Homo-oligomer: A and B are copies of this chain.
Amino acid sequence: MKAAFLSIGDEIVGGLTVDTNSGFIAGELRDVGVEPVAGFSVRDDEDEIIRAFRQALEQAELVVSTGGLGPTVDDLTTACVAKLAGREMVLHQPSLAAMEERFRVRGIEMPANNRKQALFPRGAEVIPNPNGTAPGFICPVLTDGGTRHVACLPGVPRETRHMVAATLVPWVAARQPGRRFLSRTFSTVGLAESRIDELLAGAIRPDEARVAFRASFPRMYVRLTVDGAPGERLEARMDELEARVRERLGDAVYAVGDEGLEETVGRLLRERGLTLAVAESCTGGRIGDRITDVPGSSAYFLLGTATYSNDAKAAVLGVSPQTLARHGAVSTETAEEMAAGVRRIAGADVGLSTTGIAGPGGGTEEKPVGTVCIALVWEGGAWSRRYDLGAREREWIKATTAQLALDRLRRWLLNPD
């Protein structure tokens, strides 16, 4: 099945909003065997919307639109599809009831124009929207190429993503009765996409699984998709592929599913009943910020410090002035004393630290921009290392240093020594 995508709204075409829906939906549909072939974006104009739907339907059996389902006069998608399909608009009573209920629990009277959102082309299949007032729908359209389908979803990404997973993906899968699909995502750290590609090249043949990458710096996800006839044991095949992925990528795989290192680290700290304190310098608070993005992190995160000056490193963390004088603020020695200091002050089980030169200023010949030291200190042991990340942008150096530090903590939690 081929699919095309249509993003509807003045704000999209005018560049005020970036369309992230089309790409997201394309990725999800690819996992159930759909081939994305084209994308369109149009303004809130009836003629232009209908023309774009026609152009898209020439190229694809399924056209997925986002946007234009709101209650106001410039929300035209449903009316355009009804016209295109030659179907009248009819009231969908369950959608109206759900909408009225939504307003009632909030103690607000439903504005009259919201009623419009419960109208759909006759015969369309309604897609419920538990997160907003605008349901979506799937409507058949007779074309020169036979009966094709238009699926219309709201423009709000959170609402649409839910509806894609809950309804559109199963709908597509059900229309391919001879095939089933299964995907699994692996979150990795420390390997570039090209390197992962190389490592997996010999391990997974193209006919065994589709391998896709998604980079969201500093995160890197690998997604495998297998398919087969109903009755085939896809889970078992996937488990076998996962074993091969893990053999090739080793502990660069930190989670199944797409999660951040801060979540993995949090889970490991909880499981082991350990507490953490973090002493940051060049990362300036990035690590603490990421760790506290995880709900419930107060159970294991006791203290973070960002000591940018030598004085603060000495006064707050107890780093010795001799160490600072002899080795400098950016040194494994200082990093270790920072980690030990924050651990002691917080009474934590583990102390983690970063110190480095994020640039653009502050570099020297011996310690150029991108020189970074990370240390980890625990009961009876310590680890530290200097990294030379190169004279990259400040933001890249901060993000990479935070990622390296969290990964070091993860590896230690998996294998304390």
Contact = CB atoms under 8 A, between A and B. Distances in A.
A279 B285 CA distance: 11
A292 interface: yes
Interface string A259-298: 0000000000000000000101011111111111101111
Given A39-B40, A315-B345, A360 B286 contact: no
A307 interface: yes
Contacts of A19: 18-19, 23
B26 A22 contact: no
A36 B214 CA distance: 30
Interface in A33-68: 36-43, 48, 52, 55, 59
Interface string A4-23: 01010000111111111011
* Residues of A in contact with B, size category: 35 or more
A24 interface: yes
A304 B292 contact: no
A19 B12 CA distance: 11
Interface in A104-120: none
A197 B293 CA distance: 33
B40 A48 contact: no
Given A19-B23, A284-B285, A302-B308, 8 more contacts: A14-B23, A15-B22, A37-B43, A39-B40, A282-B292, A292-B306, A293-B398, A301-B306
Interface of A: 5, 7, 12-20, 22-27, 30, 36-43, 48, 52, 55, 59, 212-214, 278, 280, 282-293, 295-298, 301-309, 311-312, 315-316, 345-347, 358-362, 394-395, 398
13 contacts: A13-B38, A15-B27, A16-B27, A16-B213, A18-B18, A38-B43, A280-B288, A285-B290, A292-B308, A292-B398, A293-B394, A303-B305, A311-B347
